Chain A
Amino acid sequence: MKPQQSIIMPYDLLIGTLPCPVVVQQHPQSQVIYANEAAKALFKQLINTKREVLLSDIKIILHDICQTEGNGTTFETRQPIPGKNTHLWLEVTTTTVMQGKDQYNVFTIIDISARKTKELSMIQSLEKEKSLHEMKSNFISMASHEFKTPLTAISSTIDLLETKLQMDNLLNPFYQHNISKISSEIFKLNTMLDEILTLSTIVSNNIEIKKQAVDVEQVIADIKYQYFSERKDDRVLNVQVSGAPRKIYADKNQLSKIFTNLVGNAFKYSTDNPVLKLQFLKNKLVIRVMDKGVGIPPQDIPYLFNSFYRGSNVDGIEGTGLGLSIVKDFVERNNGTILVESEENKGTSFTIVFKYPPEITAQA
C-alpha cells in the first residue's frame, strides 16, 4: 500500500480555528501582527465593545496583561472589564519564535475565570472552616479554664464552711458526709473538664508535641505531689525504681497526663495503695502501674481504649470513659506502647514501654 502523503495545512486555518486565543506579536516593536478568532472574541470581551476588535486594540490590552515576557513563561492575571463591575482571570503563556533574524512572541491565553472562581470560593470556605475550628477549640479551652474559677470559689467556700463548723464544734456526721459529697463532685467535674479539653485538642489535631529529654522519675514525683499527696483516705502511691535511671525523649506534659490518669484510675478502682514501677532496662524504660482493685472483665478489654467506653463492672464509679483513650493516644504520639493485663476482683496492671533514643542509649 502506498504511504499516505502528509498534508501541509495553511497557517491561518490551523491557528485561526483553535478554540484557544492565540496572539502573535513582533519583537521588539510590540506590534501585534496576528490574533485568531478566539483571541478577537476574548479581547472584545476585555474591551467591552460591540465594534470589531483591531490588532491595535489588542496591542494596548496586551501591554497591560504582560507583566512578564519571556520564553515559556506562564502567568495568571486578573483583568478588569471597563464599564462592568467584573473581571476575567486569564492564564497567559508566552513563547518566543525565531524566523530568520526576526523574533516573535506568541501568546496563548486561556480564560480560567470559572476555575479561579471555584478555587477562590474553596479557599474562602477552607479559611472559614479553619476559623470556625479555631473558634471552637478556643471556646472549649476558654470555657474549661473559666469554669475553674467558680469551681475554686465553690470548693474554697465548702472548705470555709467545714473549717468554721469544725472550729465551732458543730461538724456532725450529717454535715461532714454532705460536705464531702459536694467536695468530691467538684473535683470530679474538674477532672471531666480537663479530659474534655484534652480530647478536644486531640480531635481538632491542635495538640502540640514538644519532645525533649525527660526525667521520668521527676515527672512522677511532680504528679505524686500535685495530685496524690495528702489524700483524705491516707492512701499513697508506692513508687519503685530499678536499674540506672536514664532520660527518655518525650513530651513532658503528655507524660504527666498519662501517669496522672493511670494512677488516678488505680486509686479509683481499688482500696489499697497503687504501685508504680519504673524499670530502666538496657534499651528501654518499662513503666507499670498496678492496683489490686476490681479488675476489668475480659469482654471489656478489647474496647478499653475507645473513647467513652467504660467497663461493665464500674457502675456507680464516676468517669467519662475518655481517660484511657487519651492515655493511648499520648503513649503512641511519644512512640511508646501500652498493654493491659487484668483479672476481675484481683487487679489491673498497665505496662508502658518507651525505647531510649539512639543518642541517649549511646551516652548511657
Chain B
Amino acid sequence: MNRTILLIEDKPTLSDTLKSLLELYQYTVIVAANGAEGVQQARLNHPDLVISDIYMPVLNGYDMLEQFKQDVTLCNIPVIMLTAKTEIEEIDMALQKGADGYVTKPFVFKNLHAIIKKFIH
C-alpha cells in the first residue's frame, strides 16, 4: 500500500515538482497551499508524514505545527519542515514547536528522501 505524504507549500511551481518527484517514488501525495489548509487536509486524510514550508499565508508553518501538536489525532504524524532560512534560531524554533526534521532550501531531493525514509518505510 502506498504511503501518503501531505505536502504543504504555497509556491505551486515547487509543490508541483515535489509532488511529481514523490510520486515517482510511489508515494501518494496530497497538496495544501497553506498551514490552515494543511491542518484541514491532515484531519481528513490522516497522512503518514507531512512536509511543510514555514513562511506561508493564512497560517504559517510554526502555527500549523502548534495545531498539529495540540490535536490528538495529528500529534503523532511526523513533520519535516522546509526552510529558506539557514539561521540556527529558525531551525531551533521549528524543532521546539515539534518538527521531527528539517531541510534548508534549496535542497537535494536525495537528502529529503533520506529523512522521509527515516519516518516511513
Chain A residues proximal to chain B, CB less than 8 Å: 145, 148-157, 159-160, 163-164, 167, 183, 186-187, 190, 194, 219, 222, 226, 229-230, 252-253, 256
For residue B70, CB closer than 8 A to chain A, the reply is: no
Q: From residue B25, how far is it (CB to closest CB) to chain A in Å? A: 8
**Chain A residues with CB under 8 A of B18:** 156
**Chain A residues with CB under 8 A of B108:** 155, 159, 183, 230
Contact between chains at A152 and B14 (CB < 8 Å): yes
Contact between chains at A148 and B106 (CB < 8 Å): yes
For residue B13, CB closer than 8 A to chain A, the reply is: yes
Q: Which of B91-121 contact A (CB under 8 A)?
A: 91, 104-111, 114
Given the contacts A155-B106, A190-B106, A253-B87, A149 and B14 also touching, CB distance less than 8 Å: yes
Interface residues on B, range: 20 to 34
Q: Which residue of B lies closest to A189 (CB)?
A: B106
Given the contacts A160-B21, A164-B24, A230-B114, A152 and B88 also touching, CB distance less than 8 Å: no
For residue B3, CB closer than 8 A to chain A, the reply is: no
Chain B residues proximal to chain A, CB less than 8 Å: 11, 13-14, 17-18, 20-21, 24-25, 82, 84-89, 91, 104-111, 114
**Chain A residues with CB under 8 A of B87:** 253
Q: Which residue of B lies closest to A210 (CB)?
A: B89
Contact between chains at A152 and B110 (CB < 8 Å): no
The CA-CA distance from A253 to B108 in the complex, in Å, is: 23
Contact between chains at B88 and A253 (CB < 8 Å): yes
Q: From residue A222, how far is it (CB to closest CB) to chain B in Å? A: 7
Q: Which residue of B lies closest to A226 (CB)?
A: B104
Given the contacts A187-B106, A230-B108, A157 and B17 also touching, CB distance less than 8 Å: yes
**Chain A residues with CB under 8 A of B13:** 150, 153
Q: From residue A197, how far is it (CB to closest CB) to chain B in Å? A: 10
The CA-CA distance from A229 to B103 in the complex, in Å, is: 12
From A153, A167, A222, give the contact of B11 (CB < 8 A).
Answer: A153
The CA-CA distance from A360 to B87 in the complex, in Å, is: 26
The CA-CA distance from A157 to B24 in the complex, in Å, is: 13
Contact between chains at A186 and B106 (CB < 8 Å): yes
Contact between chains at A153 and B24 (CB < 8 Å): no
The CA-CA distance from A164 to B17 in the complex, in Å, is: 12
Contact between chains at A160 and B17 (CB < 8 Å): yes
**Chain B residues with CB under 8 A of A186:** 106
Contact between chains at A256 and B88 (CB < 8 Å): yes
The CA-CA distance from A150 to B14 in the complex, in Å, is: 8
